[in-house]
Amino acid sequence: MNVQANTITVINGHLTAKDKAAIKALLAAGLTIGKVGRKTYSIAENNGLYAVSYKIRDKGLVPVPGSAYRLSTYSATFKLK
């Protein structure tokens, strides 16, 4: 399957254009776990639906001066068209 020609349609959650490009690259390489930039992606497939979770060190959605970094985990569900 040519993953690069397919479109990612998000069903649940949120994926940025950069996330979609990273996921396409991981799927094209045949990987289910990989690190792109500062994010570590984990992809699982079930009957044509893909679940992705990614972890990143950040200061949260509303950073406060002096707050420490934490490991945040985000997830989304998508399908390839």
Instruction: Give the tens place of pLDDT for each residue, 27-79.
Output: 999 999 999 999 999 999 999 899 999 999 988 777 788 888 899 999 999 99
* pLDDT score at 2: 63
Residues 81, 3: contact at Cβ < 8 Å?
Answer: no
CA–CA separation, 65 and 11 (whole Å) = 35
Helices (H), the chain: 17-28
| Residue spans per domain, the chain | 3-80
Q: Compute the C-alpha angle 17/20/25, nearest 5°.
A: 130
* pLDDT score at 19: 96
End-to-end CA distance of the chain: 11
